[in-house]
Amino acid sequence: MSAREIHGIGAPFGPAQPGAPENREFALIGKPTAKIDGLAKATGALQYADDIQLPGMLHAKTLRSPHAHARIRSIDVSAALALPGVHAVISGRDLPERYGVIPWTQDETALAVDKVRFIGDPVAAVAAVDEDTANQALRLIKVEYEPLYAYFDPRESLVRHDPVIHEDKKDGNISKHVELVFGDVEGELKASDLVVEDDYTFHGTTHAAIEPHCAVATQAADGLLTVWSSTQITHYVHRALAKVLGLDPARIRVVQPALGGAFGGKSDPFSLEFCVAKLAMITGRPVKMLWTREEVFYAHRGRHPMQLHYRTGVTKDGRIRAVDARILIDGGSYSSFGLVTTYYSGQLLTGPYDFPTYRFHSTRVFTNKPPCGPKRGHGSVQPRFAFEVQLDEVAERLGLDPIELRRRNFQGGHTRTVNGQRITSNGFLKCLEEVERASGWQQRRGKLGRGRGLGIAGSMYISGTNYPVYPNEMPQAGIQIAAERSGRVTVFTGGNDIGQGSNSMVAYIVAEELGLDLAQVRVVAADTDLCPVDLGAYSSRVTFMVGNAAIDAARKLRALIVEAVAAEWKVEQARVRLINGRVIDMQDSARSISSAQALQITEARHDTLGSTGSYNTPKLGGDYRGGTIGASPAYSFTAHVVEVQVCEETGRIRVERCWIAHDCGRALNPMIVAGQMEGSAYMGIAEALLEEHGVNRFGLHAGPSLLDYRIPTAIDTPELAARIVESLDPEGPYGAKEAGEGPLHPSIPAISNAVFDAVGIRLRHLPFTPGKVLEQLRTARAMTQGKQSGQVSRC
């Protein structure tokens, strides 16, 4: 099928070539092209937030709470203010307005007002000539606290509400509760041939992007405020700044410079953005705040710890009849995205398998720990872990191959899930096939000898969400294009390039549509003064939504060019083709002009050239309260097989390889897609085996450094084999769906399932530390005493 057949008359020009690979008709799409800013990154030229240095700039630092839960009796900043070199000191009183990314649960202030809720909660901020002076000033601030009882166990927050962490919440220490029931779950469980029931634990983990958070602000003499921030949500930061500072948003400019990784860790408005803005307004000088690595660990917003209980009922031939989930979510001290997390913990489990009945009961509670938020695979990595481990046990108990079990329950494409979500393209079967073949599953599983095993898991994830964070009827993503007579075309996008390459994606699309060389295209992104709104880089929405907006804008401009050139040549429009920096006549190969000439002809005919485009989701989602949360215009699908080696002497698990098959619709750039798949799998494997974000009994972080929080090095990382599966989504840009978050999900349960294949124990409680492995091995040995040989795998 040609792109035109799939996408209509507006698709890139090109005759259908029967039997030719899909990519043949594209000049750029589908090719492993380098990024437009790759060399700027490679040479150190690209500017990240902390690289910004403005004349007369002050440096700001934050005083943080040493108590997990306390009332603030008094704050005395006079000594700090008197220190030479200090220009301003602010505390909660100076920025009392509340904010929070979700409008219904705004419970944060830039600096604590009256109360602190975790060790590390920001209390005051100082701007001084340099960081050393600012740090010295922090020590001179006197804060009197009245410590309160602190909660570290979410089970306690569920039942105890005195003292309450947020005074004005109507449900005490409960942050959000969601219960949704689809069909007769109990009836189906009773009628099932087999019900598997168990508890699972997912621990806390964090993003640990290598760039720490940083923000710089300056206010011009006329009042115009500019804030540069390492954020993945420029638009929401813009709104939050206006609200908290009481300024007209039209007088605030927010810019995201190059970003050094985010993974969801930069998708809330953060204290430092408000503090630098306020301090710049007070002092009349530019102010920068760069968080230390330790502060980044405390700011957190990482993966929610969850305690999960699942019951799955199946028929004896392995068809799922019912799934019942009960989940306790530890939210930490603030709401952040927690309302969405609570829904996602249930709403996103309903694929790629079909089940006729489903219930989930999820409760998020507050504790006095660093606030949790969205981390890559927001809210759905934890339930996916539990469910995929449970499915493996179902397969084992039924004597079915775990891949076969998953195949039997495949929901298919162009269907609806039990909770009313619309599924379009679905390449999950192909994903299973790919990893099955690549890993040699049939020949090798169960035959690798004791200590070595293979495990499978699958998953589904959203490509953006139907639900804008604040309700509005405007587009989710907008694009503007300006074309100039030199042949240069500039694309303005609100999209946040956080390292995933969205600016390059936009450039590929516009160059493809307008038949330009990539070098002719510039991208200006994530600057609220220059770019139309995009809601931000979260929920894996950017390629799908910004990509579609870019196609829309580019096609409008192309129509003008085609019309003008056809008129100039006095030929039918269908003969005019834009390709590789030229415009050619399809029926007269002698007639060809450069795209610059074509733009000149068009400009002469139509005026200064530009166009706009946008994307908004269709109306989607189940017809019930919360039915739009988790509704996505398209879903991606993933399957992993991992190969592990378990050392029964030390309890250490080594993941040797991970085969990753991911259905991304169409790979707009397979090299970038593969990079997302590899990076996701790496991150999931690390969560399973190495990383833990926890606090001790006082609420102190267990190890807020990149040494103690063990992210994998080049030596720890297994061999990763990415297999791209393309299912051409009907609504994605050229058929594309997401690739940045889905491929994380299966790695974690696949490891547990591989350990079962290797040594016969089921790991249900993360992280899979050597201690837990040894303990379960001991228990298993005690139970099978005498039945097995005493053979133990070593490494």
Site string for other proteins, 281-320 (x = CB under 8 A): ---------x-xx---------------------------
411 neighbors 423 (Cβ within 8 angstroms): yes
- SS3 assignment, position 622: coil
Name which of 146 and 719 has its Cβ closer to other proteins: 719
Q: Is 43 in the site for other proteins (CB under 8 A)?
A: yes
Site string for ligand FES, 223-262 (x = CB under 6 A): --------------------------------------x-
Q: Is 616 in the site for other proteins (CB under 8 A)?
A: no
Name which of 40 and 210 has its Cβ closer to ligand FES: 210
- SS3 assignment, position 538: coil
Q: At what angle do helices 747-759 and 381-398 cross, to 10 degrees?
A: 30
What's the rounded Cα separation, in Å, for the pair 136 and 132?
Answer: 6
Structure tokens at 637: 């699908």
- SS3 assignment, position 534: strand
Q: Which does 717 bind (CB under 5 to 8 A by kind): ligand FES, other proteins, none?
A: other proteins
Q: Which residues ranging from 253 to 282 are in contact with other proteins (CB under 8 A)?
A: 258-263
654 burial (CB, 10 Å; 0-12 / 13-18 / 19+) is middle
Number of residues that bind other proteins (CB under 8 A): 75
Amino acid identity, position 408: R
Q: What is the DSSP string of 87-131?
A: EEEEEGGGS---B-SSGGG--B-SS-SSEE-STT-EEEEEEESSH
Q: Is 713 in the site for other proteins (CB under 8 A)?
A: yes
CB of 256 to ligand FES, least distance (A): 15
What's the rounded Cα separation, in Å, for the pair 423 and 417?
Answer: 7
How distant, in Å, are the alpha carbons of 260, 357, 487, 552, 646 from that of 235?
19, 39, 30, 21, 47
Identify the CA nearest to 234 among candidates 215, 218, 221.
215
405 neighbors 398 (Cβ within 8 angstroms): yes
582 burial (CB, 10 Å; 0-12 / 13-18 / 19+) is middle
- Residue sitting closest to ligand FES (CB): 210
Region binding other proteins by CB under 8 A among candidate stretches 72-80, 116-124, 440-448, 754-762: 440-448
324 neighbors 310 (Cβ within 8 angstroms): yes
Q: Is 439 in the site for other proteins (CB under 8 A)?
A: yes
Number of residues that bind ligand FES (CB under 6 A): 3
- SS3 assignment, position 340: helix
Q: What is the DSSP string of 348-391?
A: TTS-SB--SEEEEEEEEE--SSSPP---SSTTTHHHHHHHHHHH
How does DSSP classify residue 250? G
Q: Which does 139 bind (CB under 5 to 8 A by kind): ligand FES, other proteins, none?
A: none
Q: Which does 53 bind (CB under 5 to 8 A by kind): ligand FES, other proteins, none?
A: other proteins
Name which of 635 and 709 has its Cβ closer to other proteins: 709
Amino acid identity, position 352: P
Name which of 213 and 666 has its Cβ closer to ligand FES: 213
CB of 713 to ligand FES, least distance (A): 12
Q: Is 210 in the site for ligand FES (CB under 6 A)?
A: yes
Contact residue for other proteins among 681, 736, 748, 766 (CB under 8 A): 681
CB of 463 to ligand FES, least distance (A): 22
Amino acid identity, position 371: P
Q: Which does 348 bind (CB under 5 to 8 A by kind): other proteins, ligand FES, none?
A: none
Q: Is 704 in the site for ligand FES (CB under 6 A)?
A: no
Q: Which does 402 bind (CB under 5 to 8 A by kind): other proteins, ligand FES, none?
A: none
63 neighbors 140 (Cβ within 8 angstroms): no
Name which of 264 and 622 has its Cβ closer to ligand FES: 264
Q: Which residues ranging from 496 to 515 are in contact with ligand FES (CB under 6 A)?
A: 499
CB of 772 to other proteins, least distance (A): 25
Beta bridge partners of 195: 313
Q: Which residues ranging from 184 to 223 are in contact with other proteins (CB under 8 A)?
A: 207-212
Q: Which does 498 bind (CB under 5 to 8 A by kind): ligand FES, other proteins, none?
A: other proteins
Beta bridge partners of 491: 481, 523
Q: Which does 550 bind (CB under 5 to 8 A by kind): other proteins, ligand FES, none?
A: none
Q: Which does 45 bind (CB under 5 to 8 A by kind): other proteins, ligand FES, none?
A: other proteins
Q: Is 437 in the site for other proteins (CB under 8 A)?
A: yes
Q: Which residues ranging from 625 to 644 are in contact with other proteins (CB under 8 A)?
A: 643
Sign, CA dihedral 530-535-539-545, equals negative
Q: Which residues ranging from 365 to 424 are in contact with other proteins (CB under 8 A)?
A: none
- SS3 assignment, position 604: helix
Q: Is 537 in the site for other proteins (CB under 8 A)?
A: no
Q: Is 706 in the site for other proteins (CB under 8 A)?
A: yes
Q: Which residues ranging from 256 to 275 are in contact with ligand FES (CB under 6 A)?
A: 261
Structure tokens at 300: 């957190």
Buried b (16+ CB within 10 A) or exposed e, 1-38: ebbbeebeebbbbbeeeeeeebeebbbbbbeebebbbe
Structure tokens at 241: 């700044």
Q: Which does 272 bind (CB under 5 to 8 A by kind): other proteins, ligand FES, none?
A: none
What's the rounded Cα separation, in Å, for the pair 226 and 220?
Answer: 8
* Residue 640 phi, psi (nearest 5): -125, 145
Q: Is 453 in the site for other proteins (CB under 8 A)?
A: no
How distant, in Å, are the alpha carbons of 204, 485, 511 from that of 607?
56, 11, 21
Q: Which does 446 bind (CB under 5 to 8 A by kind): other proteins, ligand FES, none?
A: none
Name which of 643 and 757 has its Cβ closer to other proteins: 643
How distant, in Å, are the alpha carbons of 649, 751, 783 from that of 451?
10, 13, 19
Contact residue for other proteins among 677, 736, 739, 777 (CB under 8 A): 677
Name which of 70 and 209 has its Cβ closer to other proteins: 209
Query: How many CA atoms, within 13 angstroms, populate the side-chain half-sphere of residue 294?
Result: 11
Q: Which does 715 bind (CB under 5 to 8 A by kind): ligand FES, other proteins, none?
A: other proteins
Name which of 25 and 37 has its Cβ closer to other proteins: 37
Q: Is 620 in the site for other proteins (CB under 8 A)?
A: no
Q: Which residues ranging from 480 to 499 are in contact with ligand FES (CB under 6 A)?
A: 499
Say how many C-beta atoms besides its own lie within 10 A of residue 649's C-beta: 14
Contact residue for other proteins among 85, 675, 760, 770 (CB under 8 A): 675
Name which of 230 and 614 has its Cβ closer to other proteins: 230
Q: Is 682 in the site for other proteins (CB under 8 A)?
A: yes
Name which of 737 and 764 has its Cβ closer to other proteins: 737
Name which of 45 and 210 has its Cβ closer to ligand FES: 210
Q: Which does 585 bind (CB under 5 to 8 A by kind): ligand FES, other proteins, none?
A: none
Site for ligand FES, rule CB under 6 A? 210, 261, 499
